[in-house]
Structure 1
Amino acid sequence: MSQTNKLKIFNDPIYGFITIPNELVFDLIQHPYFQRLRRITQMGLSYLVYPGANHTRFHHALGAMHLMQKAVEVLRFKEILISKEEENALYVAILLHDIGHGPFSHAMEQSIVENVHHEEISLLFMNQLNRAFDGKLSLAIQIFKGEYHRKFMLQLISSQLDMDRMDYLKRDSFYSGVAEGNINSDRLIQMLHVVDDVLVMEEKAIYSIEKFLMARRLMYWQAYLHKTSLVAELILTRTLKRAKELTQKGTVLVCSEPFQFFLQNKVDFADFDAIILDKFAQLDDFDIVSALKAWQYQPDFILSSLSKMIINRDLLKIKVSNEKFDKEEIKLYKHKLLEYYPISLAETDYFVFKGKIKTLGYNKVIEPIQILKKDKTVEDVVESSDQLNSRAFSKPVTKYYSCFPKVLIEK
């Protein structure tokens, strides 16, 4: 009787060959919960700006695990003791760190499910998988929750310089073509060390860290918060909210059965039992896109119009500014829109709105990046660097946006 070879390799365009380290990791990758990530894009609707940005969270999870393998190798070379059990737990935790993402994650979190963060759902998936795998994920879950006594292990998974960020910056830069986001992950990983069970970076890495933080800042403003990506996500959020509103008033919308469930029911974190988690696991980007294609032809003007905007990439006009937009100007746009659209004044909120976006290049308070100096002392990277005291890194950058139909400014 033939047995499946579980020690396979993946050919990755970023790193070359990625090896599956053991049978447990193979079985987790094969699980339907994880295979779902093949159908969830890593950068959401950014492909409307960067046509190549169609890579998935499946790609990213494997890449982050590959970097974790390198990190474990480097730390062991530097005589940091990591047991085989801890090693496997690190691989499992980083592999599954994003498993709770829904389709077009951030839009989903703000419309279909309520007050539920993807990390919370990731933990629910991990607990469910732990039951299915006879407790083999227990240590990985302990590390993921920050309950394991060796702090550096959580920092490898979630911190300001973790394997997650190292992969998504390099990967998103590659697929989007935004070269400014490219980082030297090999160099950064080679400079990893541990002091008193806290992750540190050797002083020689200072310029690579500066490049990493600058790349992350540029990727946010040039890719993740690109104004077209932003307005597309805002439109999708409103489309899903409108669909939910209509469904709960009795309108039957064409969509998949799992999607229909979340439209019909109010679901927050407290509701996530095994049944609802399984329904969530059946949702992916394909459910949303196929629904949008059908909703273009719905008699409801709002749902139809918003769906067409995304499908045809004919989006709302968006303006981005360092200053707040005038409330009176927004109010004027809303009243003017009534001349063009067959909707009520209250319903103009779907098409005319404003808001703000904020990013922080580097947080000096929460999990600062620690530099191990030649004299064996440790200090914050901001103190070691002559580049990172700038406003751009240590203080939040806030920008404001307003969105409205182009018909309002066309002559």
Structure 2
Amino acid sequence: MCGFRRSTSSSTHKICIGCRFITFVKIKSLKINQKLTLLNDPIYGFIHINAPIIFKLLEHPFFQRLRRITQMGLSSLVYPGARHSRFEHALGCLHLMQKTIGILREKGVSINNNEALAMQIAILLHDIGHGPFSHAMENSLVKGVHHESLSLQFMSYLNKEFDGQLTLAISIFQNQYQRKFMHQLVSGQIDLDRMDYLKRDSFYTAATEGNINSERIITMFNVIDDELVIEEKGMHSVEKFLIARRLMYWQVYLHKTSLVGELLLERLLIHVRKLYKEGVELNTPKSLTFFLNHDTGAIDSEELLNRFALLDDYDIISSLKEWQHHSDFVLKDLSSRILNRDLLKIHIKNSPFTEPEILEKKALLSSWKLNSEQLDNYVFTGSISNQAYVPDTKTIKILKKSGQVSSLQEQSELFIRNSFSNIESKFYLCFAKPSL
């Protein structure tokens, strides 16, 4: 039983998930006679929802679906606390945008009310296109369709429903609005999306390397010629942000256990598509069956978008629970491995694995009597990479005390001594243990 207690004098709805409270507090304002909504977030405290359209978007089924999609996919196989949702992340990004708008206005940056609202909508909906375990899905369920493209399609659909009220937000999201700093806050080298996921993922995984000082960085934001800049005294906080992102990728996001879990799920979904083509009967939710049974190369209609909006993590998990009892060996075995964390072994090194190394691992499984296609699900190689900073696009700009603007790589001694712009690549070999 949760030992946490809280009382409120206003009309309150509390949801306890484990020992984590998300509290909705509705307060009637005497001055403007409208309802304001406060959401109590474990990272930032109260998050204010004070625009009717923001509240309506939050309540829309498309957005509520994000409650059922975990932010970190299968990372909970390694970090048990990493079960927070993309719903929470989107709200955190909204909060950071609200803080940023306030700080920029205090510094004399002109942001009218329409722009401020559009900036909030753009960041709130930036991840609405994510599917269940989205990275595995992008490579197996809806091939070649990136979540950012789907987010734009969801926003366009909602724009029709809300009579064009999202038009400016969509322009900002697509980087088509003339005031470029607004898009840079949504998608850039040091955007609010990255700021929230580093801080939030660090909190729920207890990997302290990602615990950045987002408030300090936001306080150092400024705008010159409608471009986002960082005031010089905030440069070390930016350096820490980039180091934190690099460390979180290698230690958390690309952790070998969550990596092999995601790779197995991707191969499992590809195998399920093959079984459907062969006419094999499978017990799968209707929402998932459609995409497994059709070669959907794009979500190019409202009908497909509505079908996609029905998908969430529960469809995948419930399917795995059914598939682990199926007669097909690969389907049964891979489903059971993912559910019970009985994953493949994985070796990671800085150079590619040789063909003899791969054949050696396959030879150890000869007693399984698998054909070559089946065997490829149990011994396979690939690569992973990470680039902390991409200087050629969306360069982080530093506003010097003299008023001049320079690039981070020119000003930072850390960058001069260490090449953070290099792409770091590693190679993996996944393989099953011989005994079943």
TM-score tier by shorter-chain length is over 0.9
Which residue is 2:186 aligned to? Answer: 157
Cα deviation for residue 332 of structure 1 reads: 2.6
SS of the equivalent of 1:393 reads: coil
1:389 partner SS: helix
Per-residue deviation at 1:392? 5.1
Equivalents in 1 of 2:373, 2:42: separation in Å? 49
Q: Give the match for residue 425 of structure 2.
A: 398
- The range that moved more, 243-252 or 120-129, is 243-252
Tell me which residue corresponds to 2:10. none
Instruction: Look up the equivalent residue of 1:363 and give its one-letter code.
Output: V
Deviation at 1:335, TM superposition (A): 3.2
Q: How does 1:30-45 map to 2 (within 5 A)?
A: 30-45=59-74
For 1:6-405, list aligned pairs within 5 A.
Answer: 6-269=35-298, 271-339=299-367, 341-391=368-418, 393-405=420-432
Aligned in 2, Cα 1:245/1:390: closer, same or farther, shift over 3 Å?
farther
Taking structure 1 as reference, are residues 6 and 128 closer, same or farther at Cα in structure 2, changes over 3 Å only?
farther
Q: Which amino acid aligns with 2:337?
A: M
How big is the shift at 1:237? Answer: 0.3
Quote the RMSD (CA, aligned, Å): 1.4
**Residue 390 of structure 1: CA displacement?**
4.3
Which amino acid is the alignment partner of residue 57 of structure 2?
Answer: L
Output the CA distance in 2 between the equivalents of 1:390 and 1:288: 46
Give the alignment's TM-score, normalised by structure 1.
Answer: 0.96
Q: Which has the higher contact order (CA 8 A, sep 6+)?
A: 1
Task: Output the CA distance in 2 between the equivalents of 1:156 and 1:343.
Answer: 51
Give, in angstroms, the shift of residue 347 of structure 1.
1.7
2: distance between equivalents of 1:224 and 1:21? 34
| Contiguous gaps of at least 5 residues in structure 1 | none
Q: Distance in 1 between matches of 2:372 and 2:418?
A: 41
Q: Which amino acid in the other structure matches residue 370 of structure 1?
A: K
Instruction: Provide Cα deviations, 1:304-345, integer angstroms capped at 9, x if missing partner.
Output: 111011100000000010121111211232233121x24202
| Paired letter, 1:154 | H
What is the TM-score when the length of structure 2 is the normalising length?
Answer: 0.91
How far apart, CA to CA, are the structure 2 residues paired with 1:345 and 1:60? Answer: 42
Structure 1's consecutive aligned runs of 4 or more residues displaced over 4 angstroms after TM superposition are 3-6
SS at match of 1:303: helix
**CA shift digits 1:224-246 (9 cap, x unpaired):** 00000100000000111111110
Q: Secondary structure at the match of 1:376?
A: coil
Partner SS, residue 434 of structure 2: helix
Q: Work out the CA distance in 2 between the residues paired with 1:21 and 1:225.
A: 38
**Alignment partners' CA distance in 1, 2:419 and 2:294:** 42
Query: Does the CA contact (< 8 Å) of 2:364 and 2:434 recur in 1?
Result: no
% of aligned pairs identical?
Answer: 53
Aligned length: 405
CA distance in 1, matches of 2:181, 2:278: 50
Distance across 1 between alignment mates of 2:301 and 2:208: 43
What SS is found at the alignment partner of 1:387?
Answer: helix
Q: How far, CA to CA, are the matches of 1:258 and 1:232 in structure 2? A: 23
Distance in 1 between residues matched to 2:86 and 2:297, nearest whole Å: 23
Give the counterpart letter for 1:333 in structure 2: K
